[in-house]
Amino acid sequence: MKFLITAGPTREPIDPVRYLTNRSSGRMGYALAGAARHDGHEVLLISGPTTLDVPPGVDFIPVETAQQMYEAVRDMLRGVDVAILCAAVADYRPVSCADQKIKKNADTLVLELERTPDILGSMRSEFGFTGKLIGFAAETQNIIEYGRDKLQRKQCDMIVANDVSQPGIGFDSRENAVVLIYPDHEEYLERDTKEHIAMQIIEHATILPS
Ligand code: PMT
């Protein structure tokens, strides 16, 4: 099977030296790419900036902004059987990027932000993707309810929900604990290394009902 996996954070520029980003290390997405490749699948990893090595045998497109990730995913969907969107895409970006470094002349600075493109939400409606679609949900409360809402609104086959308020799992940690949310049931994957969680997610992904 052919997998497309997104990973890491995005960086949304404020001026030539500053940007908005988040705490995603990319570990979860890179572990998914490594696990899918290990199982013999063809894998394309599209990632925001991280310090990680690309797993051997995995095709790789580095991106920086949400817009670049949106365009890379849109342009690379041909032949993809399973798309897993694990990236922590910035939801907002500065309306404009200053040409020069912003000087600290005032005591306060107001940044005007606008929404970034919703990659997961575009997969079915705009990109016409017909393969298996797996989204992530990073929640701090009502994990199942919010995850299930995403499953329906974004027309996913499965949502991998994680509680990012728990210390030691989620963003920028070596372990995770997730709930796989299907249209008709949930399955809990107990706390484990991201590599072990990834292996289980890939197993579930390959047997998703059509
Ligand atoms: O990178 P690590 O340090 O290993 O951390 C892993 C993780 C916590 C980042 C990962 O497990 C995770 O939860 N990824 C999703 C993070 C996220 O942005 O969740 P969300 O609930 O805000 O977004 C829901 C889904 O929409 C995700 O599939 C996301 O990739 C996608 N999205 C979000 C915004 C946007 N503009 N476009 C999108 O496609």
- Average pLDDT, stretch 18-43? 98
Is 85 touching ligand 1 by the criterion CB < 6 Å?
yes
Give the contacts of 70 (CB within 8 A, at least 6 positions apart): 116, 117, 119, 122
Q: What is the pTM of this model?
A: 0.98
Helix ranges restricted to H, the chain:
27-38, 66-75, 119-125, 143-153, 194-206
pLDDT at 210 over 90: no
The residue behind tokens 């949310």 is: 181
- Classify 108 in phi/psi space as left (phi over 0), alpha (psi -120 to 50) or beta: beta
From residue 192, give the alpha-carbon distance in Å to each of 22, 58, 176, 177, 187. 23, 23, 6, 7, 15
DSSP 173: S
pLDDT, tens digit, for every residue of 127-148? Answer: 999 999 999 999 999 999 999 9
CB of 44 sitting under 6 A from ligand 1: no
The finding on whether 89 has its CB within 6 A of some atom of ligand 1 is: yes
Please give the radius of gyration of the chain, using alpha carbons only, rounded to the nearest integer: 17
Q: In DSSP terms, which residues pair with 195 in a beta bridge?
A: none
Most ligand 1 atoms within 8 A of CB, residue of 114, 136, 173 to mutate: 136
Cα of 154 to ligand 1 centre, how many Å?
13
Whether 159 contacts 151, CB under 8 Å: yes
Distance CA 3, CA 125 (A): 20
Could you report the per-residue pLDDT of 170-189, keeping only the tens digit for each?
999 999 999 999 999 999 99
Smallest Cα–Cα separation from 87: which of 113, 61, 115, 59? Answer: 61
Active site residues: 22
Determine the Cα–Cα distance for residues 37 and 31; give it in Å rounded to an integer: 10
Q: Cα(92) to centroid of ligand 1, in Å? A: 13
Which three-class secondary structure state does DSSP give residue 16? coil
* Ligand 1 mean position, distance from CA 133 (Å): 14
Label residue 203 by pLDDT band (50, 70, 90): very high
Ligand 1 pocket mutation pick from 24, 84, 146, 181 by most atoms within 8 angstroms of CB: 24
Amino acid 136: pLDDT: 98
User: What six digits make up the tokens of 16?
Assistant: 């030539």
CA of 207 to the centre of ligand 1 (A): 23
